Amino acid sequence: MSAQEQSDLALHVCPRCDGPIEVRGDVVIAARSRATPGRDIEICGLCGSDEALGGLVAVSRWPIQLPDDPHEFARPMQEQVNRLLMERGEAL
């Protein structure tokens, strides 16, 4: 890998989890963090999914450790839905 390629890769690190932000050619495939009012911070797709499913974490607490299993992202949201359904007396 050339020095320029290594430099380009270093520029595409997710500040939320320290993982890579995907790059395909000249296109950066990133999400925008919901943790900032202007959504002005680019984060990786996994962190974008985590935030979309209710995993908002203050920027001051970054970087965070993401779950090893991507299915774990949905668990807090599913638990909240289940709790609401139980409170309404609806079947799960």
CA distances from 60 to 28, 49, 57 (A): 24, 19, 8
Q: Is the model's pLDDT at 35 over the cut of 70?
A: yes
CB burial of residue 55 (10 Å; 0-12, 13-18, 19+): buried
Q: For the chain, what percent of residues have pLDDT higher than 90?
A: 18
Q: What is the mean pLDDT of the chain?
A: 78
Predicted model pTM: 0.63
Token pair 């911070």 is at which residue? 41
- pLDDT reading at 29 higher than 80: yes
Mean pLDDT of 38-66: 86
- 31: exposed, middle or buried (Cβ count in 10 Å: 0-12, 13-18, 19+): buried
